[in-house]
Amino acid sequence: MANPGNLFRAAICCLLFVAGSFGQNSRDDVRGQETKLMVLERLWNEAQVHRDANALASMIADKFTDIEYDGEISDRGKFLGDIADPKFKPVSLTIQDVKVNLYRDTAVITGVYHAKGTYQGRPYDHVGRFTDTWILEDGKWQCVASHSSLLKK
């Protein structure tokens, strides 16, 4: 007959191995989701520079809310309309110091942005902070809220 102590130790070792495997898969999944979100943020920037409202429409939720650096609040329709406006001529939009905080099916992304271009013929050169809130629905990340504020020069 097998020693009960050895069986107990073997069972504990198996449980620790299985738990460690789940932990590794969980960490890998978190890193994978963070990578997806970073890619989406960069695609967002490219879509804005190219004034691609259709690409942005695929990334934002139906109940999307945007709060601009000047306090203006836009819903989904107004936000997409502003992007398509021919008076809006962005030249570049870059982000740095980006941090992704995951909370199961929600992500809060913060960072610093630098946007250049012209609007209604007047140049702009903004450096500010942004916060984007994303939710995972039906396997797809969608931004539900975006907020930006200028940094003082």
Count the domains in the chain: 1
Distance CA 20, CA 18 (A): 5
Question: Which pTM does this prediction carry?
Answer: 0.80
Report DSSP letters for 92-137, one per residue: EEEEEEEEEEEETTEEEEEEEEEEEEEETTEEEEEEEEEEEEEEEE
Better-predicted residue by pLDDT, 151 or 21:
151
In one-letter notation, the amino acid at residue 89 is K
CATH code (residue 32): 3.10.450.50
pLDDT tens digits for 102-121? 999 999 999 999 999 999 99
Residue labelled with tokens 């941090």 = 99
- Does residue 55 register a pLDDT over 60? yes
The pLDDT confidence band at residue 27, using thresholds 50, 70 and 90, is confident
What pLDDT score does 48 carry? 96
What pLDDT score does 11 carry? 44
| Residue range of the domain that includes 16 | 4-150
- Does residue 28 register a pLDDT over 60? yes
Distance CA 147, CA 109 (A): 10
- Does residue 5 register a pLDDT over 60? no
